[in-house]
């Protein structure tokens, strides 16, 4: 069960990371459409699991590798934004959220 503080930090990080991905998508990630679906921060707020959905791009793994290689840059930009609200900017771990693809596949199978 997440504490109220964790829930607030999750929302804050999701909002600010989404803005970073929106504004920096062209320069850092080759113009892919990246959305932050979920953020889960650890109880001590030192690490965060960020689940991303990558759309409108042929090679999702390439875009994901670009994101992983830019983790330090993303964390620094995040720190500049939330530095006054959080004492420690959490370490970011990115994961691909394929639940939308899975839902579309199930929908397609049900319509056959």
CATH number for the domain that contains residue 73:
3.30.300.20
Give the count of alpha carbons within 13 A of 99, CB side only. 8
More confident residue, 109 or 82: 82
For every residue of 54-78, DSSP letters joined together read EES-S-HHHHHHHHHHTHHHHHHHH
DSSP state of 90: P
Give the structural domain span for 31.
4-110
Structural domain count of the chain = 1
pLDDT digits (tens, 9 = 90+) for 23-71: 988 887 777 788 999 999 999 999 999 999 888 777 888 888 989 999 9
Residue 79 has pLDDT above 90, yes or no: yes
Residue 93: band (very low, low, confident or very high) from pLDDT cuts 50, 70, 90: very high
CA distance 103 to 40: 22
Averaged pLDDT, 8-15: 96
| Cβ-based burial of 71 (10 A; exposed 0-12, middle 13-18, buried ≥19) | middle
């Amino acid at each position: 069960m997440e504490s109220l503080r964790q829930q607030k930090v999750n929302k804050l990080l999701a909002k600010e990371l989404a803005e970073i991905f929106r504004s920096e998508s062209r320069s850092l990630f080759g113009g892919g459409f990246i959305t932050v679906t979920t953020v889960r921060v650890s109880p001590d707020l030192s690490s965060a699991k960020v689940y991303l959905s990558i759309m409108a791009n042929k090679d999702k793994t390439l875009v994901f590798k670009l994101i992983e290689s830019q983790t330090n840059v993303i964390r620094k930009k995040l720190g500049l934004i939330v530095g006054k609200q959080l004492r420690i900017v959490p370490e970011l771990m990115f994961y691909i959220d394929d639940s939308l693809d899975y839902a579309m596949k199930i929908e397609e199978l049900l319509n056959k």
